[in-house]
Amino acid sequence: MDYKENILGTIGNTPLVKMNKITKDIDALVLAKYETFNPGNSVKDRMALKMVEEAEEKGLLKPGGTIIEGTSGNTGMGLALAAIVKGYKMVCVLSDKQSKEKIDILKAVGSEVVVCPTDVAPEDPQSYYSTSKRLAEETPNSWYVNQYDNLANTRAHYETTGPEIWQQTDGKVTHFVVGVGTGGTISGVGKFLKEKNPDIKVWGIDTYGSVFKKYHETGEFDKNEIYPYVTEGIGEDILPKNVDFNIIDGFTKVTDKDAAIYTQKLAKEEGFFLGNSAGAAAKGLLQLKEHFKKDDVVVVLFHDHGSRYVGKMFNDDWMRKKGFLDEGPVEDEIS
C-alpha cells in the first residue's frame, strides 16, 4: 500500500508546468514550479517543517510548547500543520494588510491569530515583528520562529526545492525567477543551482515600497524607498539574514497594479489559480524577457494559492477601488 504517515509526508515534489499564453512573447521555455500542490497550498510548507524539526533537534521547541511567528499567512499555515501533527499550540501574528481569507484559514486549522497595524516601523512595539518577539518572551514554553533570520528557511530550499528543479529540468535550467520576501527560497534554490552550474542566473522579483533592489545594486539601505504597498508576500522594509545578495544576479520591481492584474491573468489565461506574488512574478518575467534566449529554460516559482485572495485580487469591486481596473463604476456593496 502507498500512503504517508501523516500530512507532512506530502510536502515537496511539486510539479513543473509549462506556461503558454502569458509567456508567448518570450522565446525561452518557461516552466512554473507550482508550489500550491503542497498540503498547506504554498511553498512555505517546506521551510516551516524544516524550522520546526531543527528547533526540536536543538531543544528550542519542547513537548506541549507554543510556536509563535509573524507571518503574511503562508508560513503560519505550514507551521500550523506541523503543530497539529506534532502536538504544539500555534500563534500567528499578521499585519492588517493581509487578506481576510488568510486569517480565516489560519483560524480554521486551530491557530490563534493576532493582527497588527501595517503602517508602522519594524521596531515599533505595535509592528508584527515586535509583537511576535514580545509574545514569545511572555509565553511560557514557547519558541519564536523568526523566519526572516532563521537559516533553516534557506536550508529547506537548498535541500529540497533546488534539487527538484535540477532533476525535473534534467539539469537544463538556465534561469530561476522568484519573488523575494524572507529570502529563503531564492537563496536556497539559487545556491544549489549555482553549485551545479555557475552560469545559471537567479532573478528576484521585488515590489515598489521595498528596499531589496536598490540595496542589491548600491549597497545602500535607503529608508526613503520604504512605503506601504498592496502586494502580499514579497518585498521587505528590513534586510533578512536569509537574503543572500551574493547569490542573486538582479532584481526587477513590479507595481501593485501589475501584480494584481497578472494574478487575474494567470487564472483566466493559464488556468493557474494563484496568489498575488505569482502575478508579480509573471509580470516580472515579461520585464526580464530580453535576458532570455531561444534555448533557455526559465523556471519561475509560484508561491501560493488563489483561495487566499478571492476578496482582493479576484474581486473586481476591490480591484476598481484600488484603481487597478479602469472600466465601469464600482458597484454598491451588498450590506
The catalytic residue positions are 44
Q: In 3D, which of 311, 314, 299 has the Cα closest to residue 266?
A: 314
Is the CA virtual torsion 142, 147, 152, 153 positive or negative? positive
Q: What are phi and psi of 82, to 5 degrees?
A: -65, -40
| Beta-bridge partners for 42 | 304
CA distances from 227 to 96, 208, 223, 230, 237 (A): 15, 8, 9, 10, 8
* Grid coordinates belonging to 54: 531543527
Residue 151 three-state SS:
coil
Q: Is 334 exposed, middle or buried (0-12, 13-18, 19+ CB in 10 A)?
A: exposed
Residue 97 three-state SS:
coil
